[in-house]
Structures are given as C-alpha cells and as structure tokens.
Structure 1
Amino acid sequence: MLSYGAIHNKPHVFQSLTGLKVEEFEQLLPPFEQAWIAYVEEHHIQNRTRQRQYGAGRKSQLNAIEDKLLFILVYFRLYPTQAVQGFLFGIGQPQAHEWVHKLSGVLNVALGYENQLPEREPHRLEAVLQQYPSLEFIIDGTERRINRPKDKDDQKQYYSGKKKAHTVKNNVISVRRGKVVFLSDTYEGKKHDKAIGDEEDYEFPPGSKLWQDTGFQGFQPKGVTTIQPKKKPPKQELTEAQKQRNREISSQRVEIEHQLGGIKRCKIVVDKFRNRVAHYVDDVMETACGLHNFRLSYR
C-alpha cells in the first residue's frame, strides 16, 4: 500500500509518482494542511445535520495529511482508474472516487494560498499583467481529448477536426521566462483559438509585446505589438527571408511549448479525460497549471 512513510526516502520513485521532489512536497504540505482544516471546518464541523462528532468511527486509510496529499498528487500525475487508485492506497473504488473530488478542491485551494494559480477572469487580466515590467507575453491554445458526449449536439460541438477526436480547449498566457499567468475558460473542441480570445476580449497593458502562432491570425489586441509567423499564401511559397523570420519567431515561441509540457506532467490533462462530473475538466487544468507554477517557484 502506498504511503508517504514508505516512499519519502526513495526520491526518484517519489518524483515519478507525484511530479514533485520530496523537498517540494514538504513545501506544499503546510498550505495543503491549512486548506484541509478549512474544508473540514466548513463541510463537517459546521454541518448541523451531523449525528456524531467529526473524527468518530473507523479511521480512514488516508488519516495522515501527508498521505492525503500523496493520494491526490499521484492521481494527477498518473491518472489511473479510480479502482486502481483505490487499490494502491488500500481503499475501494467508491472511497477513491470520494477522496479524488474532495482532495482535488483542497489541493487547488492550497495552491491558491501559495499564489500559484493562474488568473481566470479576463476583466482582471490587464491588472495582473501590469505586475510584469517586461510586458512580454506568449499566448497559445491547447486541446485535451475527452470521452464522446452522449448528446448528439454536444458531439458536434466537441468534435475537433484538427485532432479528429472530441476535445476541450483552453488558451494559456505566460510571461516570457516566467509563469503561466492566465488560463481561459474551458471550451468545446470545435471553437477556434482566436475565437476564444475574441470572446473573452483580452486586454493587455499598453506597450505589451505578444508572441502568438498562426492559430491567432488576425488577433490584434489594442495597444499591443503582436509577433507571429507568416502564413504561406494560397498557391504561393514563402521567400527564404520569410522562412528564416518564421524560424526565428518559432525559436522564441518554443518557450510556451515548454510551459505546456510542464503543465502536462500531470497525466490527467494528457490522457483522454474520463470523468463526467460537472466542471471537473476545467478544475483539473487550473490545478495542473498551479502545480507547474509551484515547481517553477521552488526550483
């Protein structure tokens, strides 16, 4: 059975299972414990329908706060089925399901305490970006596969012709040589990256420089210098100078691909998403961004 006590002295195994080094895990543990105490206070202690005192009855296999954090980090990192997750931690699938959704929220709150979560509200984007004096940002879209929706209309909306699969999409904005600072809402796979940007109406500080790819062709926020590769005109070829310029831009933009790669250390945002609980597909992407930012901060 997996437990913190059994693997904390095996650093390579620990990092493979959680995505964090042992030292980073221990840095995250205090805010996670604070978030857990707040959760218990709100949902259990103040719950007037309880028939007995919180903590009475049979002790959970995840009694230690270290094991709770290990449980949810392993789930995000490896994304096993809940039956397998329960087996690893010595509990049944129904208990695993309950702990997954309970501790996902607690982990998200803990990352919020550490100021590692990206901004989600477009109307606050400009104020957030003002904090970075370089005023140089990168934007990109990312898709994740999901199970085919049951509703026929949803099947059409979530089908991505690019991926030939049912997907959801987010736009991500990062600071050059910095963190992921903004994550858009989660949209159906049919929606274009630029259409998401237009709908959310991003505003940047005047004088900003924005690196973007051809998926944002025509996206031009007010007061912003946009830099993007030149598309090949229909039935024509790019000149050698234009190709060289595109290579130069791509060599700078590759930074956002590294950021997305860091986010996708969590297999829960890489593998086909199986969970149908409302909003959970959006919540896990926010938390994965927070974990990536957390690693950047402590390395």
Structure 2
Amino acid sequence: MSDILKHIEENPKETRRLIGLEYEQLQQLIENAEQLNYEKQALRESKKIRIIAGGGGRKPKLSVKEQIILTLVYLRQMTTFQLLGIQFGVSESTANDTFNYWLPILRELLPCSLLEQVKKNESDLIVVQEILTEYELIVDSYEQFRERPGDNEEQEKYFSGKKSNHTFKSQIIIMPDGRDIVDVVAGEPGTKSDITMFRENRDNFDPKQSFKGDLGDLGEDLIDTPIKKPRNKELTSDQKKSNKAFSSKRIFVEHRIRSVKIFRVVQDRFRLNPKKYEQVILTICGLVRLRIRALILPLEISAMSLG
C-alpha cells in the first residue's frame, strides 16, 4: 500500500485537502471507476483473438484504488511525475502512464455540466433547457497560462493581450445560487473575446434563456451586465449601488471558479500536452460537481432536482 493511500485510510478527514473530495465521495468515485474500467476491459477482451489464455504478463505494482488516487493527487497538487512516482513507489514513466490511462475514464464517468449529463437523452435535454429559462444563469470566463507554443502562428493565436502571455480561455455558466455547473467551454485561445465564446455556444440553451454577465459581455442582448462607467465621467451614487447589488448576485460564479482552481493543474501554468487541456478541465469540473454534491454517482437526473 502506498504511503498516500495509507495516510488517507488512517486520516479520512484529510482526504478533501489531499485530493479535493470528501472520503465518502472518493470511495464512491473509486467504486464507479473500477466498474467502468472492468466493463471496458471485458469489452476489449471479447474482441481479441487469443492463442494463449488471458491473465498472463506482469502484474501492476499499484492496485486500481492506488492508480485512481495517483491520478487525483496529480490533478489536485500538480506535483511532477518523478515525485509522484517516488510517493507511490513506481517509476516516473509508470506514474505518467497511470495518469494518462485513468484521466479519460474519469472524464467519461464525471459529466462536467448539467447539460452534458442529460444530453444523451434528447427529451431530458429539452425538458432541462426549458426549466432553466425560469432562472437567470450566471456566465463568466477565466484565462490560464500555458507553455509558449513552438509554432509562430500558434503563438499569435494564443497570446492574450489582457494577460500579456499565452493563455487558454474557458467559460463557465452556473445556476444563480451556484449549486450546479450548467455548461462549460474549455481550451479556447486567449485572444478570443468573452462575448464571442458565448455566442459560439449559445445554441446549447433555449432561445428564451437569460444570463447575467460582466462588462466583457456588453453588446449581447441576452446577457444582463453592470453599468459601464462613461468616458471622462463618474457613475452616480444610484448607479454604483446598482452595480454593487449586481455584483453580489454574480459572486456565486467567482466561488465556483475558485472551486475549480483548488485543483492546481487549473491554477498554475498548464504543463501537460496542450491537446489534453480540454479533457483535464472538463474532468475537474466533473470532480467539482461531485464535490459540491450536484453530481450523484451512479448518475441520476430529474427535473425536480432543478427546483
């Protein structure tokens, strides 16, 4: 048993600090991930034509539980794979391979948003989209530094003037009280404006859906925004009060983005393969939904849960 797994088993209350989930949520996630992995392996085996019986070969050094925890520790702490390997008693390459094996399984198991959770059933999706029109959803975006692209065109594409660096941009839309993530768009170039991101993904919602945004969304009729300070003038006291009240209602999206950023792989400069960025961010959004109890495993969804 690895030292980290042993520590978690002996100190379950510290699980949230180590991997971002409560101990009970971790156990639930492991159980479901093991089942999904078993089903995938069984499907692969059924398609193989074997000359010798299965079950041979070198046995993995880590149990399935340890492999899943290794993946979660990387997302939460973003240590190097070399140090991660030392912590779990395996080589650096094994730690890397383990992470890359389990990341897509967790991604499949954890829908990143309410809309993704119901989209496989068109009738459920339509019902949820209609119910959401009863709320004014909150939309916001954030940028994350990435490694400098080697290609000149990629450098120009991802260079954000706002951050004076190369960045990925992501957009998150939540319920008014922050109790669930409704939609996520991840990994867009840092040069793309907030309003462009919103308009490119507007079809995910009912045409009557309303939103609450910030000054970056000015010009979009469907998004309510604060009052912009006129050039060379000051806002009136009433306008300032109005903006303060507006901000107090939008604060929930800042809290939810902070929940995403407790996973350091989102907070620090992204050092993995850039092609994995979307997969990583959406997986973490799924973990956040599990953390805040918006997502229940095994998956369940009902219109009543939105009320």
Q: Which amino acid aligns with 1:240?
A: S
Partner of 1:11: 12
The offset of 1:86, in angstroms, is: 1.4
Change (3 A) 1:235 1:146: same
The offset of 1:147, in angstroms, is: 0.3
**SS of the counterpart of 2:3?**
coil
Partner of 2:200: 199
For 1:120 and 1:219, locate their aligned partners in 2 and report how far apart those are by CA, in whole Å.
Answer: 24
For 1:194 and 1:126, locate their aligned partners in 2 and report how far apart those are by CA, in whole Å.
Answer: 24
Partner of 2:228: 231
Percent identical pairs in the alignment equals: 28
Partner of 2:147: 147
The 5-angstrom pairing of residues 53-202 of structure 1 reads 54-63=54-63, 65-112=64-111, 117-119=113-115, 128-132=128-132, 134-177=134-177, 178-202=179-203
Q: Which amino acid aligns with 2:146?
A: I
Structure with the bigger percentage of helix: 2
Q: Which amino acid aligns with 1:160?
A: S
Q: Which amino acid aligns with 1:144?
A: Q
Partner of 1:261: 258
CA contact (8 A) 1:172 1:180 kept: yes
**SS of the counterpart of 1:130?**
helix
1:284 has 2:285 as partner:
no
1:98-149 Cα deviation digits (max 9, x unpaired): 111110011112224xxx645469x988764324474221001111111000
The offset of 1:90, in angstroms, is: 1.0
CA contact (8 A) 1:119 1:183 kept: no
Q: Which amino acid aligns with 2:81?
A: Q
For 2:151 and 2:231, locate their aligned partners in 1 and report how far apart those are by CA, in whole Å.
Answer: 37
Task: Please identify, of 210-219 and 21-30, the stretch whose mean Cα deviation from structure 2 is larger.
Answer: 21-30
| TM-score normalised over the length of structure 2 | 0.85
Change (3 A) 1:5 1:209: same
1:152-211 Cα deviation digits (max 9, x unpaired): 111111111111211111111111122011012421011111111122334643654411
Partner of 1:29: 30
Change (3 A) 1:185 1:260: closer
Task: Please identify, of 194-203 and 144-153, the stretch whose mean Cα deviation from structure 2 is larger.
Answer: 194-203
| TM-score normalised over the length of structure 1 | 0.87
Task: Please identify, of 2-11 and 240-249, the stretch whose mean Cα deviation from structure 2 is larger.
Answer: 2-11
The offset of 1:255, in angstroms, is: 0.4
**SS of the counterpart of 2:138?**
strand
Change (3 A) 1:50 1:159: farther
1:271 has 2:268 as partner:
yes
For 1:53 and 1:6, locate their aligned partners in 2 and report how far apart those are by CA, in whole Å.
Answer: 38
**SS of the counterpart of 2:170?**
strand
**SS of the counterpart of 1:143?**
strand
**SS of the counterpart of 1:139?**
strand
For 1:192 and 1:298, locate their aligned partners in 2 and report how far apart those are by CA, in whole Å.
Answer: 29
Change (3 A) 1:51 1:79: farther
CA contact (8 A) 1:35 1:107 kept: no
CA contact (8 A) 2:180 2:294 kept: no
Instruction: For structure 2, list consecutive stretches of 5 or more residues without a partner in the other structure.
Output: 296-307
1:25-60 Cα deviation digits (max 9, x unpaired): 1222221112211332345x2463777655423321
The 5-angstrom pairing of residues 215-230 of structure 1 reads 215-221=216-222, 226-230=223-227
Aligned residues: 288
CA contact (8 A) 2:4 2:87 kept: no
For 2:238 and 2:173, locate their aligned partners in 1 and report how far apart those are by CA, in whole Å.
Answer: 28
For 2:294 and 2:51, locate their aligned partners in 1 and report how far apart those are by CA, in whole Å.
Answer: 43
Q: Which amino acid aligns with 2:292?
A: L
For 2:195 and 2:233, locate their aligned partners in 1 and report how far apart those are by CA, in whole Å.
Answer: 24
